[in-house]
Chains A and B, each alone.
Chain A
Amino acid sequence: MVLTVLGPLAGRSFAITGKPNLLLLRPTNLPLLRLSLLLPPPHFSSSSSSCRLRSPIFAAQESNLSVSNENETSEWLMQDFYTLRKDVEIASARVEEIRASAGLEQLEQEIANLESKATDTSFWDDRTKAQETLSALNDLKDRMRLLSEFKTMVEDAETIVKLTEEMDSTDVSLLEEAMGIIKDLNKSLDRFELTQLLSGPYDKEGAVVYITAGAGGTDAQDWADMLLRMYMRWGEKQRYKTKVVEMSNGEEAGIKSATLEIEGRYAYGYISGEKGTHRIVRQSPFNSKGLRQTSFSGVEVMPLLPEEAVGIEIPEEDLDISFTRAGGKGGQNVNKVETAVRITHIPTGVAVRCTEERSQLANKTRALIRLKAKLLVIAEEQRATEIKEIRGDAVKAEWGQQIRNYVFHPYKLVKDVRTGHETSDITSVMDGDLDPFIKAYLKHKYTLAMASAVTN
């Protein structure tokens, strides 16, 4: 019995190596397969098993399996088929829904508009604007292309299902192809839906992540360092370019603060939900008694906006700009390389600091860009149309809100306070495996936005 069970399994995997794309679809279908394989009909013999061993390969080459097919084979194939048919139906409905909500006609209209703009003779007079138009056009075209791709994919799968029904025999390779299509399609749909969740005005931009250790000395500073590493790993996994532009080391270990720049499309959209206070519970490695210790670190996320994109003017009198003082008499009396600049927006109390540049002016320029980016994001969050409308007290409350707990001891658990999403695989999370948390948050945010849109 053992041999007959193993035989077909080995046969399957052999066929899989012969056709690379099958590898993709196998894992999800495996439980079903195994179930049907574990219950082979009693008359199953080793000779028929060797015959079946070859059949999938044969099928892959000749795409006609019915000849060599035996009853029991078609039995599990039929089960696969029913599953497939169901999957295709679900996917079809999903595609239908997505295409309906995407506003295809409006999309076509917009593309036509932008295309006519791009052919205008004066189009390149304003380079920045032209670039913006072209990138908007590309985005729309990409979306259009994806939407029609979804349709073609689901239609292909439907055709296979229909064909199989009409042929009253099962073609393994065709079914496998359909399964592959559905699997790919579902992945694309997931991704599409996620980017739909990222429709904020700055979501496409890169991100600036600013991490500060909370009170609590070395433990908190070490925790801030761990978070920095986590975000760097996350960025690398997404193939984003990550760069620590500023870092202030703690006295014993860890960091007091660090600024991480993440370049790449949608970096801000994904990571913006990470802003807030992150709490760790663990046995302190810096305490000889190994007592349980709770520490906090703050994370701020702002979009990484190019200078010319930050199109807001802030009246000079609203800014409190403070520079690192040279100390004492200043001027020729002192030579200090540090030229840190801190800018506070007086009406809201929103502040940024920039220390990484080597000249005062460069630090000031960069700090101002960061401040503007931060104000823009806050305005967006508060649905304020002008910077003036920002409520400073709300900023403090929201940006400092505790968003996630990381418990290392006495049990292992990472839990997001907002979404309730949790995992016990704390090692992976600290290694930058943040996507489940990010997805959960984006969905949560989307639901909230929908709900508030309804009530308004």
Chain B
Amino acid sequence: MIRIFPSLRFTSLLSAAKPLCSYSPAREPPQYASFTEAKSSPQTNSLSITPKTPLFLRTPSHATSLSEVWKWHDWAKDLASSVEESSTNSEDILDSVILHRELKWLIEDSIVDDPLVILHKSEIADNGEKNVKLRASLEELYDLWRQRIEKRRPFQYVVGCEHWRDLVLCVEEGVLIPRPETELIVDMVEELVARDEWFKKGFWADLGTGSGAIAIGIAKVLGSSGRVIATDLSPVAIAVAGHNVQRYSLEGMIEVREGSWFEPLKGLEGKLVGLVSNPPYIPSDDIPGLQAEVGRHEPKLALDGGIDGTDSLLHLCHGASRMLQRGGFFVFETNGEKQSKMIVDYMMSNDLKDCFSDLKIVSDFAGINRFVTGFRL
């Protein structure tokens, strides 16, 4: 329980993180005992949560003169350029080049007119009196950019979405922002089903789905006959994932279920053809030193993997042996290097020995041994 305190300290900055805290006992998933706790959480909870509408989907109900928007843009640019000098911590600083890119995207998401009108102010003869339609009020835009830079609020939470693979996923506080590395999980599944049609027909599960990114990516790869069950313990994640599934009209293929890990998959023992997960895998001791955007704003529930970060992963290994049918495939994301090796060793020993074949460590594009994959014997 001691581990919960750092997370409380950080997340309490955010109102959106409150629901998480109340479920924090269930953060220790490997103990089967936690299932009972998870079960006790009322299923209806997620229904009461309405996901936030990302900036780019809001109705453009605000109008402001172009010159006012230019003024905001100049201010935002200056603020973005000034970050490096004002930073005291050289380890974890904002990069002004990237901030300028983010600013461009913020404009793309929040104004209806051609963003070039704002970005190339000097190139246009316009006198600035023209009105532009905005999806957020100018005050909100000032506020959002200040939050980005001063509070280090992640850009994806600021605009309410993350571009991931060919998807635009809604995200908000309480839901992990999908990482580019995780795109590779979908690539692996795509490769697999292209090789063997068998994988297209059975049940897949994405455990700890968060925004629903992997589940949606996989469902699209599987084609019309695919079935994916996406589970998450967090009611916010359930609401957001459900919303994203709906946005891509994949309700017929993806079922979002609330609960801890395998708990919502009762009755599917030995039936899954595929199991994927990006579980929390960061060792608890690393949590306080994380990049501000991650440590201060993203849900601990989705990051903290216990003392050595493997609590959830080990639990998933056992579950995989129970839930997958013969020949079924799994891929788990890990913290890399030592951890992936540990998982493979674990799966080759003790009671899991002889359960899996073709155990492999797959590295991400930075060469870090990020994923563990294999098949159920």
Contacts and interface: CB of A to CB of B under 8 A. Distances in A.
Nearest to A357: B163
Contacts of A418: none
A362 interface: yes
B336 A331 contact: yes
A29 interface: no
Given A244-B119, A249-B100, A331 B368 contact: yes
Contacts of A360: 164-165, 180, 183, 365
A339 B294 CA distance: 17
Contacts of B163: 357-359, 362
Contacts of A243: 116
B231 to A, nearest CB: 18
Nearest to A359: B163
Interface stretch (B16-24, B242-250, B259-267, B280-288): B280-288
B255 interface: no
Interface string A142-156: 000000000000000
B95 to A, nearest CB: 8
A338 B96 CA distance: 12
Contacts of B196: none
B282 A323 contact: no
Contacts of B364: 330-331
Contacts of A291: none
Interface in B322-375: 333-336, 364-366, 368, 370
Contacts of A329: 286, 335-336, 368
B335 A338 contact: no
B366 A325 contact: yes
A249 B166 CA distance: 27
A367 to B, nearest CB: 13
Contact of A333 (B101, B119, B177, B294): B294
Range, interface on chain A: 20 to 34
B282 A333 contact: yes
A360 B294 CA distance: 19
A17 B334 CA distance: 80
A321 B105 CA distance: 25
A16 B280 CA distance: 82
A263 to B, nearest CB: 13
Given A323-B366, A329-B336, A357-B163, A335 B180 contact: no
A216 B304 CA distance: 47
Interface string B79-112: 0000000000000000001101110010000000
Given A243-B116, A359-B166, A330 B370 contact: yes
Contacts of A321: 365
Contacts of A337: 98, 101-102, 105, 155-156
Contacts of B302: 332
A322 interface: yes
B294 A334 contact: yes
Interface residues of B, number: 46
Contact of A331 (B97, B105, B165, B333): B333
Contacts of A362: 163, 165-166
A248 B177 CA distance: 25
A221 to B, nearest CB: 13
B202 to A, nearest CB: 26
B183 A232 contact: no
A338 to B, nearest CB: 5
Nearest to B364: A330
Nearest to A232: B123
B37 interface: no
The residue in B164, B294, B336, B365 that gathers the most chain A C-beta atoms within 10 A of its C-beta is B365
A408 to B, nearest CB: 20
The residue in A248, A337, A359, A362 that gathers the most chain B C-beta atoms within 10 A of its C-beta is A337
Interface string B265-307: 0000000000000101110001000110110001000110000
Contact of A339 (B120, B154, B180): B180
Contacts of A336: 98
Contacts of B3: none
A388 interface: no
Contacts of A357: 163
A332 B303 contact: yes
A229 B123 contact: yes
Given A248-B97, A330-B366, A360-B183, A335 B105 contact: no
Interface of B: 97-98, 100-102, 105, 116, 119-120, 123, 154-156, 163-167, 176-177, 179-183, 278, 280-282, 286, 290-291, 293-294, 298, 302-303, 333-336, 364-366, 368, 370
Ranked 7 nearest A-B pairs via Cβ: A358-B163, A360-B180, A359-B163, A323-B365, A361-B165, A325-B366, A335-B293
Given A243-B116, A362-B163, 16 more contacts: A232-B120, A244-B116, A249-B97, A330-B181, A331-B181, A331-B334, A331-B335, A331-B368, A331-B370, A332-B176, A333-B286, A334-B179, A335-B291, A338-B101, A359-B167, A359-B183
